[in-house]
Structure 1
Amino acid sequence: MAGEAKAALFEALAEVAKALANGRRAELIDTLAQGERSVEELAEIIGQSVANTSQHLQRLLRAGLVTTRREGTRIYYSLASSAVYTLWRTMTETADRHVKDLGELAEAFLGDRSAMQTIGRDELRTRMRAGDVVVLDVRPDAEYRSGHIRGALSVPTSQLKSRLSDIPSGLDVVAYCRGPYCVMADDAVRYLDRQGRRAIRLEGGFPEWAEEGRPVAAGN
């Protein structure tokens, strides 16, 4: 009897791992770490149909990793708590240390980062206080509105070329996006470098900054 109860307990605990054991569901968690999104928005981001995306979200919902709310005919999803993001961050950091060939897979997606200058979160906060950097949030507008580094300028990568003149000159530019495996900040840094601007990528992204209790803001 005790053996059956123990087995049932550990099976229940394993449900979280089972829910995350799918690349598309992992990508959904990574996206929802930026803030609440509708099913339709999530489907576009992960490149799946609305029906398939809904199935993945329902699996995450049954595992208790996400919550929902309805607004009219639309359903919006968000992470169930900050603990879900902490789990996701720990999982990615563990994979970075121990999964063979992960670095090669990341480079195939993100490109060669060896020459890209980066800045840590502590150093960025110090420099923001000194006023000698411009911080760019290059995520989509909806994610910026959900939450961003306080004082950051919203310039999504899709608008970078047309809004280059909006970025103050004479200062280093620090770009950030969703996290360590997000390509948007890399693209922004490379583009700005080609334009003769001194550009730096923030280590991690907005979720890491927020999780550590650093200044954030929401809205436009």
Structure 2
Amino acid sequence: MNERVLMSRDGPKQRIFAQLAEIAAALGHPHRLEILELIAQGERCVEDLAAVTGLSLANASRHLQVLRRARLAEPRRDGKRMLYSLVSETDVIALLASLGRVGERNVAEIGRVMDAYFRARDAMEPVARTALLERLREGHTTLLDVRPADEFALGHLPGAVNIPLDRLDTILAGLPPDHAVIAYCRGPYCILSFEAVARLRSCGVEAYRLEDGYPEWRAAGLPVEG
């Protein structure tokens, strides 16, 4: 009996579960989830990640080491800089998307935040990727990337125009009157596209947001530029 219990504790299933638990633990911090969202846009150095997240360089490095041990992120040396990117990008993005769906379905506080912030700014159905492709083929659509310029340079949807949120007012006069605007940003919980759509609509522009962001588009195997 004891031998069977020992085999069960040290069996292949338990060893696999132990490694999966390490991945789950790596996901168990909001700063690390934010870092994963950022490096999903493209390779980022530690200094940039620290600046964007508001973390100290030491804290950002510690979080990256946890993600590295869990095989969620990997470094590449570029001169004196260490650049990080996702490991198995498509799988990690799918994992984060699944985590979000479970949270939205099962955690009441997430639902309250979605209602109070996101849906309050845009209660309309977002534009699906397939629908966006069709709209772009037909024309009469302006595709707006509202991420910072450095993230746009790392990669973006074909034909997108990069106008960060703080410069949005500068393009209003130049928008073709017969064009709808579709905005996208870093992902489903990035506030930038919600804010952009709300601001454009307040100025009388027909505006929508993409259902998710650049990483999900790329992970779906759709074309990108940059």
Give the structure-2-normalised TM-score: 0.88
SS at match of 1:180: coil
CA distance in 1, matches of 2:94, 2:127: 22
1:122 — aligned with what? 130
SS at match of 1:118: coil
1:145 — aligned with what? 153
Is 1:154 aligned to residue 162 of structure 2? yes
2:182 — aligned with what? 174
The partner residue of 2:142 within 113, 122, 134 is 134
Preserved contact between residue 200 and residue 206 of structure 2 (Cα < 8 Å): yes
| CA positional deviation for 1:165 | 4.1
Which structure 2 residue ranges, 5 or more long, are not aligned? 1-5
Preserved contact between residue 65 and residue 80 of structure 1 (Cα < 8 Å): yes
**Farther-moved stretch of structure 1 (73-82 vs 165-174):** 165-174
Is 1:14 aligned to residue 21 of structure 2? yes
CA distance in 2, matches of 1:133, 1:119: 12
CA distance in 1, matches of 2:66, 2:32: 8
2:113 — aligned with what? 105
For 1:1-220, what aligned pairs fall within 5 Å after superposition? 1-6=6-11, 7-82=14-89, 83-110=91-118, 112-116=120-124, 118-218=126-226
CA distance in 1, matches of 2:65, 2:177: 47
Change in 2 beyond 3 A, CA 1:189/1:117: farther
**Farther-moved stretch of structure 1 (19-28 vs 163-172):** 163-172
Change in 2 beyond 3 A, CA 1:114/1:135: closer
Preserved contact between residue 139 and residue 155 of structure 1 (Cα < 8 Å): yes
SS at match of 2:143: strand
SS at match of 2:152: helix
Identity %: 41
- Residue deviations 1:12-71, cap 9 Å, x none? 221100110111111111221111111121112222111111111110011111011122
SS at match of 1:213: coil
Count of aligned pairs between the two proteins:
218
Which residue identity lines up with residue 2 of structure 1 in the other structure?
Answer: M
SS at match of 1:216: coil
The CA RMSD measured in Å over matched residues stands at: 1.9
Structure 1: 4+ residue segments shifted above 4 A: 114-117
- Residue deviations 1:163-202, cap 9 Å, x none? 4445444300000111111100011111112222111111
Bigger-Rg structure (1/2) = 2
Give the structure-1-normalised TM-score: 0.90
Which residue identity lines up with residue 182 of structure 1 in the other structure?
Answer: C
Preserved contact between residue 149 and residue 217 of structure 1 (Cα < 8 Å): yes
Which structure 1 residue ranges, 5 or more long, are not aligned? none
| CA positional deviation for 1:114 | 4.9
Please state which structure has a larger fraction of its residues in helix: 2
Preserved contact between residue 116 and residue 201 of structure 1 (Cα < 8 Å): no
CA distance in 2, matches of 1:195, 1:67: 43
